[in-house]
Structure 1
């Protein structure tokens, strides 16, 4: 009798496939970053063909190379900003729950303050304060994406503190730092990993958004936001491929990141162990 496939096995395969596709896109785009800048005016404004599957732009640059280079740049920015944001959320969320009432009040006030400002406006303001460019984009996205995850981690820590083994450790004189390291962080790891992965699509979309608006990466870099912004001037002349392929690639990458986060959540959920 043929054994029925386990849902967790299917989830692992899909997770590996999505993660492998994203890693391949980042690596190939990094290798094509120089080619994405090469101009050839004898090949400008070509529609998609075998030699140029995504066509060429008004300077004869290959749109496939530019799209892959832009995706690679977005993935690297997303990885850096998501890591910084998730680490800040972990530290602040744990600190709010274990350092006492005053720390909780101050950190909760900061969370409410950041979440009370329109997100794209906050990213723009921080990016401008840090001088725009790569550093401004990284700072703007990283410093604006931590509150939601910090609030989740704070709630999880407050719940864990009521567990009998944590209360017993406190009564036995175990230090707060050791309790956090031994009892809290292992239980927070699934939420932290899921939050880290789910930060990626938000970071990528906000990086592309502020770059599209002209407040992010400089125009000489082959970023998706730059490509989409420049293509707006040529859509009315029928050059649809300048925006359709980069835009579709951006949406596909964001959906893959969201899929990785959702599948990872299912994989780490204890309730799915016997599915």
Structure 2
């Protein structure tokens, strides 16, 4: 029985993997949050990994506060880059497979066509820079690793864009939402299923992969979909990014091409509205309980 260690176990993707785990009882799942595995303590990483002795590590842990990363640069780099290098070194030395999650923010946003895994990177904020450095360290220290870039992740767990918008549309009569940043959202449950499909696939095929839900939308269009599915009575106005300045710049276009992950592993790529409706139904149920 293969032992799988999931880092960042209380995050959105880690939480969704925990939901899926009982369906894959042929695997021995270990879920580690920061209290078990603190990725900012490099000496402790090796000690904990030797104790657990995983055969696969799924690294869902990351520093994801995009705007705060502009001032907490060192911490973002420790978690998104340096810790990844330590994990990659350990997995290489101990014959362990590594699957690491990255982000669409490694791109500069200047494309106008869906981004393949071979597209040129050029992050425009600190978060993206630290995640790109993590990718590079991962592949340098463990060329047999799998990296999955994803985008706009949301779920019924924790704090995220969908839950925030649901709350705001019930509290406010009018919202302004950026309409000139294009990409596709990712339901963390779909990403978790993609990850499990990969780790249970007969052949481990190392390299870079992209995953998000199908569809090409702006944040504004995403909010309109949330509004429609939720039946919220709130006026939504699309505005340019220039009218909503943030500490960290965002890529204007970061739509990911998912064809490689689909053809290599047979991963399903659900349409974004279908997944959004599933997630919002869960959020409604959870809010009643």
Which of the pair is proportionally richer in helix?
1
Q: TM-score, normalised by structure 2?
A: 0.25
Which of the pair is proportionally richer in strand?
2
Q: Which has the larger radius of gyration?
A: 1
